[in-house]
Structure 1
């Protein structure tokens, strides 16, 4: 990502586009330093483990589709929810489809742009 995302509404579509185009560095550029993600199996990943998890999704030709986002924002922090669908090829070659509602936290970082600090695709589940 070369230009900071200053319009919070553009963060979810930017994440979707980066994931679907298979651009790991773009996906990671949308994450705040120290970001954490709750995986679809309920564990959490951060740092190198988060990078590896995203790389695995890309290797599985992940295709993400986000529904409309709902945002509650303060000065430098925001709560972002959205419905999503993800299709991915598993290591055994099967194509799987999952859906859910994410509950994510974004924060404004030093460059003035918004990035995800917490990704929780399982929502309240």
Structure 2
């Protein structure tokens, strides 16, 4: 799942997420990448992987529609709308949606990886 165009990161993420492939998802991130759980709460490393694992445990597919990708040199800002909607393993309806603002960086190998995963986007914290 090598990504040579930052605009393709979200669709590659969707493919790995919907396959429930945590290791493939993890390869789309720099090792020290951060994830915003909610405004003001950020995790990295094992915390980021655990947060992703929790989303996978919902058992519901994700869809992402990219609004914009802005690239400067080796850095990209990706803005996209996501929806997780369906029936979870417990039979309950799951519905999460938002507009993520993510940052990616092109590595020395020419491949793009997320460095900041911000699903809450510009959501205002409490």
| TM-score bracket relative to the smaller structure | 0.7 to 0.9
The 10-residue stretch of structure 1 (71-80 or 56-65) with the greater mean CA deviation from structure 2 = 56-65
Equivalent in 74, 85, 88 of residue 87 of structure 1: 85
TM-score w.r.t. the length of structure 2 is 0.86
Aligned residue in 2 for 1:16 = 14
Aligned residue in 2 for 1:71 = 69
Check conservation: 1:5, 1:113, Cα contact below 8 A: yes
Runs (4+) off by over 4 Å:
88-93
Can you list the C-alpha shifts for 1:14-63, whole angstroms capped at 9, x where unaligned? 00111111000001000012100111586222100111111122122131
Equivalent in 114, 117, 123 of residue 115 of structure 2: 117
Aligned residue in 2 for 1:25 = 23
Equivalent in 36, 56, 59 of residue 58 of structure 1: 56
Aligned residue in 2 for 1:45 = 43
Two-structure CA RMSD over aligned residues (Å): 2.0
Where does structure 1 lack aligned partners over 5 or more consecutive residues?
A: none
